[in-house]
Structure 1
Amino acid sequence: MKATIDWTGNVSFKATSGTGHEVQIDGPPDHGGQNLGPRPMEMVLMGLGGCSSFDVMSILQKSRQDVTACRTELEAERADAVPSVFTRIHLHFIVTGRNLKENQVKRAVSLSAEKYCSASIMLAQGGVEISHSYEIHEAA
């Protein structure tokens, strides 16, 4: 896996993935940025959410659950001192579908957290306290 980061001025950068996708990263105005994109640590948090959501949806689809929507809300706390690393992250999955089985949703979230989500496992091994919850909604 590869990526490149190109400085675009002030505290703004263009990140390009090895697959050619681009994301603008920028800082807040009080740090010289123009708020044109997410902050680097927001990218880490979004990466974790994407990784875990990918796993959960894959597991639910393989278990033939009729999922119509899945939203993952993440909340993180960071250390007050430099480096301002993540200390706690909570992922809350909101899964919507038809006749979803709670045991399948619980299993998918647990498997992602404990076995499949590389980002989650890497952050946890680095000392970040990661927790998960979920809720199930019946599709209209």
Structure 2
Amino acid sequence: MKIMTIVKGRVRWIEGEQFIGRIEGDQCSVILGEGGISPMKLLLLSVAGCTAYDVVMILEKMREPIKGLEVEIEGVRREEHPRIYKEVTIHYRIYGNVDEKKARRAIELSQEKYCSASAHLKLSGTNVKYTLEIIRDDEPPSKLSK
């Protein structure tokens, strides 16, 4: 018998278009709306964070020499309500002498099996696609985005 995980959170209206959200047991809060991040943008960051975690953990289990990872994400929303994402592109930039086939396998495992946030998008009909770039140790370093 599988045990369900229950996650609890709370969003509180501060004033105007500003809200603050917190998940029970977590140490950080998120400001939503004015002066903060929109819930739909936060959804994109959640997908990027979820898959980034998966890819690093999988590559480490594969004993690949990953030295860094950046995940860029871009979403295109519908014009009509509900304005869900109709297409999301995820760009993985992996640093280190990582085998490309293993990197692609790690991304596929994340996208097909482990990343619950991506699964939510796909269940709503979002087309999720990805690109991969590997920056090897012998290549000149690119500027990391902040």
TM-score, scaled relative to structure 2: 0.86
In the alignment, structure 1 residue 24 sits paired with structure 2 residue 31: yes
RMSD: 1.1
**How far 1:74 sits from its partner (Å)?**
0.5
Query: 1:1-12, aligned counterparts within 5 Å?
Result: 1-12=7-18
In the alignment, structure 1 residue 41 sits paired with structure 2 residue 40: yes
**How far 1:66 sits from its partner (Å)?**
1.4
Equivalent pairs: percent with the same residue? 30
Which consecutive residues of structure 1, in runs of 5 or more, have no partner in the other structure?
A: 27-32
Which contiguous aligned blocks of 4+ residues in structure 1 show a shift greater than 3 angstroms?
none
SS of residue in 2 equivalent to 1:67: coil
Q: For 1:101-132, what per-residue CA distance to the aligned partner results, in whole angstroms no more than 9, with x for missing partners? A: 11110100010011111111121011011001
Matches of 1:67 and 1:17 in 2, distance apart? 31
Greater per-residue strand proportion: 1
Number of positions where the alignment pairs a residue of Structure 1 with one of Structure 2: 131
SS of residue in 2 equivalent to 1:66: coil
Which consecutive residues of structure 2, in runs of 5 or more, have no partner in the other structure?
A: 1-6, 139-146
- Cross-structure match for 1:91: 90
Query: 1:56-75, aligned counterparts within 5 Å?
Result: 56-75=55-74
1:15 to 18, 21, 44: 21
TM-score, scaled relative to structure 1: 0.89
SS of residue in 2 equivalent to 1:64: coil
In the alignment, structure 1 residue 135 sits paired with structure 2 residue 133: yes
Query: What amino acid is aligned across from residue 108 of structure 1 in structure 2?
Result: A
**How far 1:67 sits from its partner (Å)?**
1.2
**How far 1:94 sits from its partner (Å)?**
0.2
1:106 to 100, 104, 107: 104
Matches of 1:107 and 1:17 in 2, distance apart? 32
- Cross-structure match for 1:29: none
**How far 1:68 sits from its partner (Å)?**
1.3
Matches of 1:134 and 1:19 in 2, distance apart? 35
SS of residue in 2 equivalent to 1:124: helix
